Amino acid sequence: MPSLKKHMISTRELHQKLASVQRDKIDSFKAKMDARRSLSDKIADALTDSFGTVLFLSINALWFGVWIVINTGLIPGIAVFDPFPFGLLTMIVSLEAIFLAVIVLISQNRSARIDDLREEIDLQINVRTEAEVTKILIILDRIHDHLGLPSEDDAELIMMKQNIDLDAIAQTLTKEMIEE
């Protein structure tokens, strides 16, 4: 029997393999969505990735520090070109903030579209899973009855064997959203 043990797979290993396959599918989904990005989305994502770093923060801090030191007249021989209260620096920082905000919003909008799609996939899977679980409960109840075991259908089991009314749920949610 040692050779049979070699070919048997443990439940844990099976779960790990299934999880790996699912991760690959999720990674594949993300890769497909990334491949479909427009040029502007790719640029926005690259810029967002660059701007969201300690290096970018450090470069900005150094740039602003040098600007302020130069324009306070602390370095002899270098002419002040933007005296206090640093109007030019303020304008540059404001423009930088506007561009950074727009770039981040472009990336966030794309991420939101992907999240919406994932949510829809989750909903479809959940609806299918609910239908499968309901069917399993009905089959188990029939097996239970077929075996002649005492019937113990309580109110909760009866409710669980009912199909979910998605239209009723959608109407309830819509009504709640309107009332808010």
Integer Cα distance of 22 and 82 in angstroms: 58
Which residue has tokens 């009314």?
Answer: 165
Angle formed at CA 111 by CA 46 and CA 45, multiple of 5 degrees: 5
Q: Where are the domains of the chain?
A: 38-179
- In this prediction, residues 151-173 reach a mean pLDDT of 82
Interval 24-67: pLDDT, tens: 666 666 777 778 888 888 888 888 888 889 999 999 999 999 99
Give yes or no for a contact between 17 and 86, defined as CB atoms under 8 angstroms apart.
no
- Taking 50 as the threshold, does the pLDDT of residue 147 lie above it? yes
**How many C-alpha atoms does 28 have within 13 Å on its Cβ side?**
6
Average pLDDT over the chain, rounded to an integer: 85
pLDDT of residue 1: 47
Cα torsion 68, 74, 75, 79: sign: positive
The pTM score is 0.59
Q: What is the greatest pairwise CA distance in the chain? A: 102
Interval 87-113: pLDDT, tens: 999 999 999 999 999 999 998 988 888
Integer Cα distance of 108 and 175 in angstroms: 29
